[in-house]
């Protein structure tokens, strides 16, 4: 007889695609919004990987232990796979079988095949439906890049803003400060069918921003116990294997996609010190890789608006002009910055390269001045709707489609392309639709 109820309520996920493997993820949580509902003991989880979704012939399989100390999450590093190939995976525990996930390995190092990257950020659950993910899945990306604000830590406000508070939190919900509270917040988000389907459709690469911990946090400010709990829950619920390093969690890393694209994922929150948004060790790491990258496109993926803005922002690279200068001076010619955080879509010309700013999946946008583009001639585009980006990188060109949904206060929004741009040096060419 089964000892536990169906434990795969939060679905499956994969991430960190390499030419020979991926991380596959699940979590045993029969009662996800009440502490998980698992007994306080380790539990065996079987995993299976196959080239077909009926698992007629297994490519790889094994058994791992889900530990109570990790909220019974499992992160399996699958190796021995072929490059640029689709695989299916699933998990079994105590007689139960998970849904089937689909993933794709990265191209071989010498590959010149084009790559399609979907980019998302800022998905405040209370602010709307995650319909954009349904369209993102239909766009069939090779990899999904999430630039932070995967969860929001806020409690239920005493007075909710009308029109913006469409999926209320439970009445008793306080702001997350404890490990259990952060875990339950991830569980709430991962019960969303569109988000769960997006994780099951493609491998993800993610980097936290501020709301995975607390609004506008940076550096070593605030309660270290809260920070530790927040990052532990984040690491438990996403398909990567990050480890505490000193008093931080190291998220900054490089992922390479053949000869086409070098993805440098940077953490603009944890290592801030006066005048330095990345901190000395991460800066050395980043500048070294910018200077030595040989890929056709070098992409810096991080949460915060990189280009200057008038008026400047206090919680973006505008507050760290020396850090920005160092990055631009080290950047190669074909340089692209991907960023999020601001809940609106923008495009910017940089001194070197260009920046594409993704809008929010659901988080409500701030008011934007009518003359924002006139005051900032290097900003080429603005769109105030929710959505995501699809970037197409090849040896010939780097183009971006700004995908927009007209509403998130109810399900079922259609999607359209607000604009498309081609990066040409540090210019942006608008592509006629
Ligand atoms: Fe946000």
pLDDT tens per residue across span 23-42: 999 999 999 999 999 999 99
DSSP state for residue 276 in the 8-state scheme: B
Q: What angle do CA 190, 192, 195 make, to 5 degrees?
A: 75
CA of 222 to the centre of ligand 1 (A): 19
pLDDT tens track for 62-113: 999 999 999 999 999 999 999 999 999 999 999 999 999 999 999 999 999 9
Mean pLDDT score of the chain: 96
Greatest mean pLDDT among 164-173, 201-210, 243-252 lies in: 201-210
Phi, psi of 408 (to 5 degrees): -130, 5
Residue 92's pLDDT is 98
Instruction: Please check the confidence at residue 158 and state whether its pLDDT lies above 90.
Output: no
CA of 305 to the centre of ligand 1 (A): 12
- For residue 34, give the nearest of 161, 172, 143, 142 by alpha carbon: 172
CA of 420 to the centre of ligand 1 (A): 23
Instruction: Please check the confidence at residue 161 and state whether its pLDDT lies above 90.
Output: no
CA of 363 to the centre of ligand 1 (A): 6
CA of 122 to the centre of ligand 1 (A): 4
Q: With cut-offs at 50, 70 and 90, classify the pLDDT of residue 1.
A: low
CA of 23 to the centre of ligand 1 (A): 26
pLDDT tens track for 334-364: 999 999 999 999 999 999 999 999 999 999 9
Work out the percent of the chain whose per-residue pLDDT is above 90.
Answer: 93
CATH class assigned to 115-431: alpha beta
Residue 188's pLDDT is 98
State whether residue 286 is helix, strand or coil: helix
Reported as type and span, the H/E element at residue 77 is strand 73-78
Instruction: Please provide the CATH number assigned to the domain covering 12-104.
Output: 2.60.40.380
Domain positions in the chain: 12-104, 115-431
Note residues around ion ligand 1 (Cβ under 5 angstroms).
Answer: 122, 149, 363
Is the separation of the CB atoms in 202 and 141 below 8 Å?
A: yes
CA of 297 to the centre of ligand 1 (A): 27
DSSP state for residue 273 in the 8-state scheme: B
What are the start-end ranges of the E strands in 121-203? Answer: 143-146
Distance of alpha carbon 25 from alpha carbon 108, whole angstroms = 23
CA of 343 to the centre of ligand 1 (A): 6
CA of 10 to the centre of ligand 1 (A): 23
pLDDT tens track for 364-420: 999 999 999 999 999 999 999 999 999 999 999 999 999 999 999 999 999 999 999
């Amino acid at each position: 007889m089964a000892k536990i109820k169906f434990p795969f309520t939060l679905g499956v996920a994969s991430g960190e695609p390499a030419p020979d493997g991926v991380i596959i993820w699940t979590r045993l949580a029969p009662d996800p919004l009440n502490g998980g509902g698992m007994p306080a003991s380790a539990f065996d989880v079987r995993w299976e990987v196959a080239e077909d979704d009926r698992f007629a012939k297994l490519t790889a399989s094994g058994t791992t232990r889900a530990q109570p100390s990790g909220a019974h999450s499992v992160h399996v590093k699958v190796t021995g796979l072929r490059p640029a190939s689709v695989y299916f995976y699933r998990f079994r525990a105590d007689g139960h079988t998970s849904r089937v996930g689909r993933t794709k390995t990265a191209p071989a190092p010498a590959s010149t095949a084009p790559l399609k990257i979907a980019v998302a950020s800022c998905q405040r659950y209370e602010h709307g439906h995650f319909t954009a993910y349904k369209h993102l899945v239909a766009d069939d990306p090779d990899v999904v890049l999430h630039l932070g604000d995967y969860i929001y830590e806020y409690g239920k406000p005493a007075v909710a803003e009308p029109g913006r508070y469409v999926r209320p939190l439970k009445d008793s919900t306080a702001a997350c400060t404890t490990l259990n509270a952060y875990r339950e917040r991830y569980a709430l988000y991962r019960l969303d069918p569109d988000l769960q389907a997006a994780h099951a459709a493609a491998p993800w690469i993610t980097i936290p921003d501020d709301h995975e911990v607390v609004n506008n946090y940076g550096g070593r400010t605030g309660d270290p116990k809260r920070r530790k709990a927040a990052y532990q829950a984040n690491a438990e619920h996403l398909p990567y294997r990050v480890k505490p390093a000193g008093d931080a969690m190291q998220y900054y890393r490089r992922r390479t996609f053949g000869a086409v694209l070098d993805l440098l994922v940077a953490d603009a929150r944890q290592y801030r010190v006066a005048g330095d948004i990345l901190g000395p060790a991460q800066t050395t790491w980043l500048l070294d890789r910018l200077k030595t990258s040989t890929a056709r496109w070098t992409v810096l993926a991080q949460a915060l608006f990189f280009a200057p803005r008038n008026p400047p922002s206090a919680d973006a690279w505008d507050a760290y002009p020396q850090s920005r200068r160092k990055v631009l001076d080290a950047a190669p010619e074909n340089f692209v910055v991907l960023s999020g955080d601001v809940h609106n879509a923008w495009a910017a010309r940089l001194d070197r390269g260009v920046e594409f700013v993704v809008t929010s999946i659901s988080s409500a946008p701030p008011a934007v001045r009518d003359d924002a583009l006139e005051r900032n001639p290097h900003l080429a585009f603005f769109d105030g709707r929710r959505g995501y980006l699809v970037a197409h990188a090849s040896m010939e060109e780097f183009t971006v489609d700004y995908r927009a949904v007209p509403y998130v206060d109810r399900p079922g929004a259609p999607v359209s392309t607000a604009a498309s741009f081609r990066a040409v040096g540090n210019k942006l060419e608008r592509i006629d639709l």
